[in-house]
Amino acid sequence: MSAATRARRLAEDAEIVVFERGPHVSFANCGLPYFLGGEIADRNKLLVQTPERLKAVFNLDIRTHAEVVSIDPEHKEITVRDRTSNRVSTERYDALILSTGAAPVVPRVPGADRPGHFALRTLEDMDAIDGWIKERGATNGVVVGGGFIGLEVAEQLHRRGLRISVIERNPQVLKPFDPEMAAHLHIELRKHGVGLYLNNGLSRFDSPTAGERAGASVVVLANGTRLPADVVILGLGVRPEAKLARDAGLVIGPTGGVKVDAHLRTSAPDVYAVGDAIEVTHGVTGRPALIPLGGPANRQGRTAADNIFGVPSAYPGTLGTAIVRVFDRTAAVTGANEAQLKDAGMAFEAVHLHPNAHAGYYPGAAPLALKVLFDPVTGRLLGAQAVGADGIDKRIDVLATALRAGMTVDDVADLELCYAPPFGAAKDPVNLAGMAAQNVRAGLVHPIRWDEIASLDRTLALILDFRDRAEREAGAIPGSVHIPLGELRARLDELPRDAEIIAHCASGQRSYNACRILMQNGFRCRNLVGSFKTWKAAVDGSRPT
């Protein structure tokens, strides 16, 4: 609809026809989970526009229940089937925009077609889930898949009063995040009583046996665990609906999405494609990618309409900026993560911080976990992730803007961001991330990551904890030695000069100061990135069940 309405604003005399195989156009599919949980109480609020409204305001000819079943690029014709009457007709076009979206992935396992199993993609899906829960008095739900939609549905069904389990075949939820960042959400889910089964995929769906109460299925995991469910939500992700394009001979990219150029043109003349159906270029790695997000899809629609009507426009690629709320935590991401950078063969370094979202002396200050990835040679920003209770959207939006602008960590350190005690700090977490990265690039500190700790040769390395004694008593890295930072200068003679010192504190700032003292006194020192908070979250959150 963003393409159709932009087209109308550019060409008042154009004939613009929209074919939709379902009953609705322009509905808020991102809001569907929140209706299931009752946060959005009025179903009509999800209907952003109606065909009647779009006809009145934009003079669009919108035909619902009209499925395009084939495209003839040579003759510039489409074949349309009316799903109400089953009548088939042909329509000619001067320009065609494909916005076929993506379809939910359905697992190919025994019992997948049992009643009570649902994907959530349309209003009809939402109504079916809502009706099933009400009619069956569902009390136990299983969400298969720990992606964005899966976690939103899990949170909302929990809010509705169901006991929820989430199963994920990978070692973590939310694949766009690095493991130590996703671990914060594992802890949050378990804190709220959600059963979380990681590294343990779906095997099959069984009928309940004696003693098992399951209104839908018993979900059987790869390790044999049986989870009775009154309702099953399939949140395994989506794949592009590219069959229409493929059958028409359009080029399909290696990811399975419709291949387009920077102007969103397909391989067929005057045929464009946008949204979840297309393969995009990742804005950091430059590689083909599938990134099904609402914001990019809307901008792609506008870009396609611009190019059709003579306004030169190019789509710059997708950064994958996304955000999700999981109970009392918000998680957001932009750019590339470690796995994507490694796969692309790109050098990177990372910093972790745990600053407060606003000034610590102002009431309600709570820490956030922030990770920033950057090129160690050029300082170019490559990606960022954040998890916390407050201020997450603000920081990732700033860093997404910096990414799009091609900024370096030096630029990020110097950003002038708004500050007052209720909203931030004189050194905003974004600035601090840039400064921490500057220190790494300048050689003022040498980092070590949380996942390198377990493989350290303890005969060659000494882990030094620079926290206060009370912090130490609440938990420590096994085998570490404790020296409060204030005592370090007086106790340098206690330290071995033939071992590398691995410094840590709670979040990394005190241990950075310790490393500066040690390095200037002739010791070899590396600072644990994110320090104890990152290590502890990663270790606690990584257990499979």
Question: Hey, is 202 helix, strand or coil?
Answer: strand
Residues 6+ apart with CB under 8 A from 471: 506, 532
- Which is it for strands 202-206 and 217-221: parallel, antiparallel or unpaired? antiparallel
How far, in Å, CA of 95 to CA of 273, rounded?
A: 11
Reported residue count of the chain is 545
In 364-442 the beta strands, taken as DSSP E runs, fall at 368-374, 381-388
Q: What single string gives the DSSP state of each residue in 164-193?
A: EEEEESSSSS-TTS-HHHHHHHHHHHHHTT
Pairing of strands 231-234, 117-118: parallel
DSSP assignment of 361-377, as one string? TSTT--BEEEEEEE-TT
Strand-pair category, 66-72 with 77-82 = antiparallel
Of 30, 418, 515, 525, catalytic: 30
Tokens standing for 202? 């779906």
Q: Are 519 and 443 in contact (CB under 8 A)?
A: no
The arrangement of strands across the sheet holding 258-259 comes to: 258-259, 278-281, 288-289
Angle separating helix axes 294-308 and 2-10, nearest 10 degrees? 30
Based on the residue annotation, tell me whether 515 is a catalytic residue of this protein. Answer: no
Q: What is the chain's percent helix, strand, coil content, to nearest 5?
A: 30, 25, 45
Residue 195 to residue 165: CA distance in whole angstroms = 4
Q: Which of 107, 341, 353, 340 is nearest to 232 (CA)?
A: 107
Phi, psi of 258 (to 5 degrees): -65, 130
Amino acid at 270: D
Catalogue the active-site residues: 30
